[in-house]
């Protein structure tokens, strides 16, 4: 009968140890020696800072970074990537940012789909300036408002539709943070692999 607590704790401990080993340690070992896929590079400098901003602002709650293979969902048909994601796409990801929610579109291949800096800056500043109907939050704290001098707007002024522009004699310019975030997004690029992608770790 249930009178021996030691039995309970042993059983409970064994149960959790088994699943931790199988679901965490075994995949860690299985994927320990995996090669990065072509095009996957270790981020550095501003790209690293941009990734930290991506984490800080919680982009992961609305954007996944995982493309489902053709035949499962419509990710590739939507132009979100040329193929399904593979473990090798993530070897430099720490923490991982796979995400589980698509209030917005997947971003794993955003660099191929939308490389324009002007578009991204306007979108960060206020998403509705380029995507009417979007529910993405604005990030004005990644920008500065500057006065337009006699020489005209600064070269890096963000082009905005009139209803989002800051007013006469003013311009919006990205801070280093906005530039870093853009630099990070431009690392998110999927390249087709030679052989048709085998499903991850086929066995």
Partner 1 sequence: MSQPAPSLTTTEAVPLGSPSLSDAVPVDAASWRRRVDASARLPVLAYVLSGVVWLLVGTVFALLASFKLHEADWLGETAALTFGRVRPAHLATMIYGWLSMVDVGIMIWLWGRLLKTEVRHPWVLLASCALWNVGMVVGTVGLLAGFSTGVEWVEMPVAAFFCIVPALGLVAFALLSSLGRRRVRHLYISVWYLGACMLWTPILLVAVLLPIYSGVPHATVNWWFAHNILGLWLTPVGLAAAYYFIPKVVGRPVYSYHLSYLGFWTLALFYNWAGVHHLVGGPPPQWLVTVSIVFSVMMIIPVLVVAVNHHMTAFARIRRVLYSPTLRFVVFGAMSYTVVSLQGALMPFRSLMEVTHFTHHTIAHSHLGVYAFATMVAFGSVYYLLPRVTGWEWASRRLIALHFWTTGLGIGMYVVGLTVGGIQQGLLMNDASVPFLDVVIATKPWLWSRSIAGVLITVGHLTFAWLVWQIVRHRGPAPDGPVYFRPPPTGLFGRGDGGRAPVADSSLL
- Closest CB to partner 1 among residues 77, 194: 77
Rounded Cα distance between 54 and 63, Å, is 10
Instruction: Tell me which residues in 82-121 interact with partner 1 (CB under 8 A).
Output: 84-87, 89-98, 100-105
Query: Is residue 199 involved in binding partner 1 (CB under 8 A)?
Result: yes
Rounded Cα distance between 97 and 62, Å, is 11
CB of 35 to partner 1, least distance (A): 12
- Please name the helix (run of DSSP H) or strand (run of DSSP E) that holds residue 146, with its range, or none: strand 143-147
Exposed/middle/buried for 95, CB within 10 Å: 0-12, 13-18, 19+?
exposed
Instruction: Tell me which residues in 128-167 interact with partner 1 (CB under 8 A).
Output: 128, 131-141
Instruction: Tell me which residues in 29-88 interact with partner 1 (CB under 8 A).
Output: 30-31, 55-62, 64, 66, 68-69, 72-74, 77-78, 84-87
- Closest CB to partner 1 among residues 38, 149: 38
- Closest CB to partner 1 among residues 2, 150: 2
Task: Please give the distance of CA 99 from its chain centroid, rounded to a whole number.
Answer: 8
């Amino acid at each position: 009968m249930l009178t021996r607590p030691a039995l309970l704790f042993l059983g409970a401990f064994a149960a959790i140890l088994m699943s931790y080993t199988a679901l965490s340690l075994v995949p860690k070992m299985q994927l320990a020696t995996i090669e990065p896929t072509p095009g996957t590079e270790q981020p550095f400098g501003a790209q690293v800072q941009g990734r930290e901003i991506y984490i800080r602002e919680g982009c992961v709650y609305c954007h996944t970074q995982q493309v489902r293979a053709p035949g499962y969902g419509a990710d590739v048909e939507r132009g979100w990537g040329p193929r399904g994601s593979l473990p090798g796409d993530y070897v430099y990801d720490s923490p991982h940012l796979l995400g589980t929610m698509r209030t917005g579109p997947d971003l794993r291949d955003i660099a191929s789909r939308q490389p324009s800096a002007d578009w991204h800056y306007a979108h960060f500043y206020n998403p509705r300036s380029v995507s009417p109907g979007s529910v993405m939050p604005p990030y004005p704290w990644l920008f500065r408002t500057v006065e337009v001098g006699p020489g005209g707007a600064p070269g890096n002024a963000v082009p905005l539709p009139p209803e989002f522009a800051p007013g006469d004699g003013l311009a919006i310019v990205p801070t280093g943070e906005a530039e870093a975030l853009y630099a990070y997004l431009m690392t998110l690029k999927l390249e087709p692999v030679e052989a048709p992608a085998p499903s991850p770790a086929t066995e």
